[in-house]
Copies of this chain bind each other. A is one copy, B any other.
Amino acid sequence: MERCEVYLSEESVQELMRRLSRIEGQVKGIRRMLEEGRSCDEILIQMSAVKSAISSMAMFLLEEHFNSCVKPGVESGNVKALEDFMRAVRQLVKGG
């Protein structure tokens, strides 16, 4: 069986949803700023905030994923979990 059996905890998913809602609000903010003709540097600052929020959320997910899926998966002999993890890490590092 290759998929991760033990998924993220309910608390982790809730925390991710909360973070995602904030990000959705921030993205809506960019749209509003463009519509209102706000100055470009203010919009760029808002974009940086979105990127930081996603980076932080991605790192949080990676940690949760590692703790609740990769480690238990590997301990029960699932080497595929390790390959999946490496693929995700590669994306995260290259994604900047």
Q: Is the CB of A61 within 8 A of B74?
A: no
Interface of A is mostly: helix
Closest to A69 in B: B40
Give CA–CA (A44, B63) in the complex, Å: 11
Residues of B within 8 A of A65 (CB): 40-41, 44
CB-contact partner of A41 in B47, B52, B84, under 8 A: B84
Residues of B within 8 A of A31 (CB): 17, 20, 24
Q: Give A contacts to B, CB under 8 Å.
A: 3-4, 7-8, 13, 16-17, 20, 23-24, 27, 30-31, 34, 37, 39-41, 43-45, 47-52, 54-55, 57-59, 61-66, 69-71, 74-75, 79, 82, 84-96
